[in-house]
Amino acid sequence: MTGFVSKTLGDVIRDTAQRFPQHPALISPQFQIRYTYRQLYDQCRAAAKGLLALGVKRGDHVSVWTTNVPEWIYLQFGLGMVGGVLVTVNTNYQSHELEYILKQSDSTTLFLIERYRDTSFYETVRKVLPELEACRPGGLASARMPLMKNVVYIGNRESTPGMLSFRDFIEMGKTVSDTELNDRMASLTSDDVINMQYTSGTTGFPKGVMLTHANIVNNARMVGDVMGMTEKDSLLIQVPLFHCFGCVMSTLNCVYHGSAMVVVEFFDPDLALQYITTEKCTAINGVPTMFISILNASDFNRYDLTSLRTGIMAGAPCPIEAMNAVRTKMHCPEVVIAFGQTESSPVMTMTRRDDPVELRVSTVGRLLPDIEGKIVDPETGRDLPPDTQGEIVTRSACVMKGYYKMPEATTAAIDAEGWLHTGDLGEVDQNGYFKVTGRIKDMIIRGGENIYPREIEEFLYTHPKVANAQVLGVADAKYGEQVLAAVQLKNGLSASADEFIEFCKGKIARHKIPKYWEFVDSYPMTASGKIQKFKLKEMFEKKYGLAANS
């Protein structure tokens, strides 16, 4: 391997702070924060000491449920220094999903903010952990989650029964010596699991993808190298930090290369334009829908985007018009496409900055330098020749350790020779450029968010009127795909779409709630009795006149 690096997250930020102590590191205008690398390193050490004071041991799981607040980054690197595993929680989650993640991950500690959009995180956590009301901070004894001990609140609420405030948490850390923290940092290895990202699978229940320091440090290194990132760059970070796109391809990428992070709390096209202009950002990451929203902002022409140079578009296919507009109107000639999945930390292939536009919109690029990849026959596992469709598989030091407490699922994903089976269909040309042509399973990608039909189907089965539910993706001009539910009701019952939307609200994330609801008497079947989702897709795309966009 050409440039394999054996470093922990703590090593990475310490080394960068030593090399570039006075360089800008974290700029978060919404929170009036502007730190150099030396100051950011100190903040992360303060968070690490707080974690030690809370009793977080090497390998303990710590869930973080916040938007892109500065504390997220302190915790990302603070946990990296003490060897705690960061369990990322999607900000769109509701009570049902939060409870599942906290329980399945065996989290001992949870950090949360007040709210996001119309969801009160504070109230949701109280619902999931009712014992907070009567316990002292740090002394939680939950019937449903026996391992959960600490809940830390980030925000300005006067009284938070049962929870520590982030301020108190940092204060507690002052009792921990530098030596104690340095000893802990020295005891860690780059092969330790440090990050757990939840991703769904065919079972419909999210699986905890265990990523090590080496997995994500090396992925961030290669991604930034392809972008040409150096200490002279500043990256606008508007993608959620709870995804690998945020915490590997964005924050860790910047810290590894000494670049500045300009962070937006959550995506807002007007703020993106404002920060690119005022902070002279040279790079911008986003899913195609974000770039399209920015280009369509009403005040777009008022802003000066000439500082931009590069960025990553990932998460969904990019329309050629959008790519050309990003290159010309946004002054971003070196924008690249990336492809991968959480299980490979996440990036496997990228287009290069000097690739012709045709390659940047028709392919997902070629392999990163230290990553292997090929196309195999999904049935036999045999290697396939160029320009032949099959399953995309990858092998490298970036492949996950496995799924937490799911050995069978791990064995199904990673074969005996270490190849990770992505479940994506694709082909590779003579020059090594990969194309993604579909998905073996029926995953829906809506505006960069992966949605797993089985998870929504399992949830819909809990509705008393439902006999059967089939969830699928249909073409959508704005989001790439939208969610459709074809529901079979129990005999003699009737229902409306509004009734079902109401049933979903507050229980599953908003982006998972189907846009289209169809009530059907039967489903198209194969001779052996399997439901043919592709026929449902064709039927309803035709009905709604969507096929033209697909």
Burial of 70 by CB count in 10 Å (0-12 exposed, 13-18 middle, 19+ buried)? buried
Sign of CA dihedral 210, 215, 220, 223: negative
Under 8 Å between Cβ of 536 and 470: yes
pLDDT score of 1: 54
Say how many Å lie between the first and final Cα of the chain, rounded.
Answer: 40
Under 8 Å between Cβ of 239 and 286: yes
pLDDT score of 202: 40
Tell me the CATH class for 444-549.
alpha beta
3-class SS at 14? Answer: helix
496 backbone dihedrals φ, ψ, rounded to 5°: -120, 160
3-class SS at 182? Answer: helix
Render pLDDT for 470-486 as a digit per residue (tens, 0 to 9).
Answer: 999 999 989 999 999 99
pLDDT score of 200: 61
- Alpha helix (H) residue ranges in 258-396: 269-279, 288-295, 320-328, 357-362
One-letter amino acid at 447 equals G
Under 8 Å between Cβ of 212 and 192: yes
Sign of CA dihedral 416, 422, 425, 426: negative
Structure tokens at 183: 């000893």
pLDDT score of 201: 46
CB count, 10 Å around CB of 23? 18
C-alpha–C-alpha distance, residues 418 and 289, integer Å: 34
Render pLDDT for 438-475 as a digit per residue (tens, 0 to 9).
Answer: 667 777 889 988 787 878 987 998 899 998 899 999 99
| Below-70 pLDDT ranges, the chain | 1-2, 200-204, 438-439, 526-530, 547-550
- HSE at residue 153, side-chain half, CA atoms within 13 A, is 22
Residue ranges with strand state E in 127-186: 150-154, 164-165
pLDDT score of 179: 98
Q: Which residues pair with 438 in a beta bridge?
A: 425
State which H helix or E strand residue 95 sits in.
helix 95-104
One-letter amino acid at 136 equals R
pLDDT score of 526: 56
3-class SS at 331? Answer: coil
Under 8 Å between Cβ of 335 and 327: yes
Residue ranges with strand state E in 380-419: 390-396, 402-403
pLDDT score of 188: 98
Cis peptide before 317 (omega within 30 of 0): no
Structure tokens at 235: 């990256």
Sign of CA dihedral 217, 58, 82, 66: positive
Topology match between the domains 9-328 and 444-549 = no
Tell me the CATH class for 9-328.
alpha beta
Structure tokens at 501: 């939307």
Render pLDDT for 494-513 as a digit per residue (tens, 0 to 9).
Answer: 999 999 999 999 999 999 99
pLDDT score of 51: 98
- Domain locations in the chain? 9-328, 444-549
DSSP string, 281-310: -SEEEE-HHHHHHHHT-TTGGGS--TT--E
282 backbone dihedrals φ, ψ, rounded to 5°: -105, -10
Q: Which of 459, 473, 471, 481 is nearest to 520 (CA)?
A: 471
Under 8 Å between Cβ of 541 and 550: yes
